[in-house]
């Protein structure tokens, strides 16, 4: 189910409205960035803007936009979801080149969040131990969960092992998940782990672990630095909707704004790895370097990934059916 839309504005009277749709775990950053942009736009143009915001799993948000949620701007968990909007005719081809940094606005890596003092997974192979009960979301509805799945698979198949060994490894982990139904997104997975007390290792974004720590969590986490996924998060205009709404100029300005040092610092403060070089240097001590950081290109691109792993009856369905 798509999250309810809500609005943030400086002055609601006669305001122009922008609909912004993103994945669940970005809310802590955009709740700070959007008011800054509203104030900046007001100062430059005298215009008041209302932002209608929606946050939910990336896969769910993608389907919602395709099914009629009229997003002007979308910031999804993976370029593969944005590509689906392009294939649906909502975003024009070449959207990656119409924004800085090929439209990748933040990065993250996968982290292991633990609860049990006797469970200290510092490397990927530790997750297959019998006493480890992993919590992760459903990659059918969550972009974050797709990154988790690819991280698990690649830790074997792209790290000296075979695909048969990768399948066995991933099968073992999913068969040990201690909930009857996978959470629908990263936020729900966190609730299952923290609030319901299920499992003893949560696979999640590094930024979620950092944000939880900032809020007072004492739960330890480990970032595997020998191998990890570069979780690249894009932002894009939904061309069909901005043209329909007459909001292209504002939407383009917002996309440019999220790459500025001012906005990038807000991402970095809540745990997202910034892409602005200046801000990367400012926060270098907060983000440990990874020796082998693989990207989507190492998996053959999102088209190949969706067909091979996440399409109906593909590898994920095969693994969970057996589990």
Inter-CA distances, 281 with 11, 81, 273, 285, 287, Å = 36, 30, 11, 8, 10
d(CA 23, CA 95): 19
Inter-CA distances, 11 with 8, 31, 141, 282, 292, Å = 9, 17, 35, 34, 48
pLDDT at 217: 84
Helices marked H in 258-293: 261-269, 277-282
Asked if 85 contacts 51 with a C-beta cutoff of 8 angstroms, the reply is no
Can you spell out the DSSP letters for 127-144?
A: GGSTT--EE---TTT-HH
pLDDT at 186: 80
d(CA 140, CA 136): 12
pLDDT at 12: 44
Using DSSP, state whether 54 is helix, strand or coil.
strand
pLDDT at 285: 93
Question: One digit per residue, pLDDT tens: the chain, 323 residues?
Answer: 445 566 555 444 568 999 999 998 899 999 999 999 999 999 999 999 999 999 998 889 999 999 999 999 999 988 989 999 999 999 999 999 999 999 999 999 999 999 877 888 999 999 999 999 999 999 998 888 999 999 999 999 999 999 999 999 999 999 999 999 999 988 899 899 989 999 999 998 898 888 888 888 888 999 999 999 999 999 999 999 999 999 999 999 999 999 999 999 999 999 999 999 999 999 999 999 999 999 999 999 989 999 999 999 999 999 988 65
Domains (range + CATH), the chain? 6-106+233-286 (3.40.190.10), 110-229+292-322 (3.40.190.10)
Predicted TM-score (pTM) of the model is 0.81
């Amino acid at each position: 189910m798509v999250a309810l839309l809500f609005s943030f504005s400086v002055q609601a009277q006669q305001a122009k409205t922008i609909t912004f749709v993103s994945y669940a775990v970005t809310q802590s950053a955009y709740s700070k960035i959007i008011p800054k942009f509203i104030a900046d736009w007001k100062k430059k143009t005298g215009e008041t803007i209302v932002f209608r915001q929606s946050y939910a799993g990336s896969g769910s948000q993608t389907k919602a936009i395709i099914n009629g949620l009229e997003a002007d701007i979308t910031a999804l968990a993976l370029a593969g979801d944005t590509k689906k909007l392009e294939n649906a005719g909502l975003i024009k081809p070449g959207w990656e080149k119409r924004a800085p940094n090929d439209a990748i606005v933040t990065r993250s890596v996968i982290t292991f969040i633990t609860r049990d003092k006797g469970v200290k997974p510092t490397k990927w192979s530790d997750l297959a131990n019998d006493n480890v009960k992993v919590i992760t979301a459903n990659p059918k509805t969550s972009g974050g969960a797709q990154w988790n799945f690819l991280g698990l698979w690649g830790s074997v198949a792209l790290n000296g092992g075979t695909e048969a060994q990768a399948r066995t490894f991933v099968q073992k982990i999913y068969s040990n998940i201690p909930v009857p139904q996978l959470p629908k997104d990263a936020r729900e997975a966190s609730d299952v782990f923290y609030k319901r007390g299920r499992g003893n290792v949560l696979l999640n974004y590094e930024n979620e672990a950092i944000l939880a720590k900032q809020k007072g969590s004492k739960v330890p986490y480990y970032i595997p630095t020998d191998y990890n996924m570069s979780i690249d998060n894009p932002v894009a205009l939904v061309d069909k909707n901005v043209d329909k709404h007459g909001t292209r100029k504002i939407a383009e300005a917002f996309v440019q704004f999220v790459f500025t040092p001012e906005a990038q610092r807000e991402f970095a403060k809540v745990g997202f790895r910034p892409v602005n070089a200046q801000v990367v240097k400012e926060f270098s001590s907060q983000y440990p370097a990874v020796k082998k950081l693989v990207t989507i290109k190492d998996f053959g691109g999102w088209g190949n990934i969706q067909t091979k792993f996440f399409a109906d009856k593909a590898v994920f369905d095969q693994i969970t059916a057996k589990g």
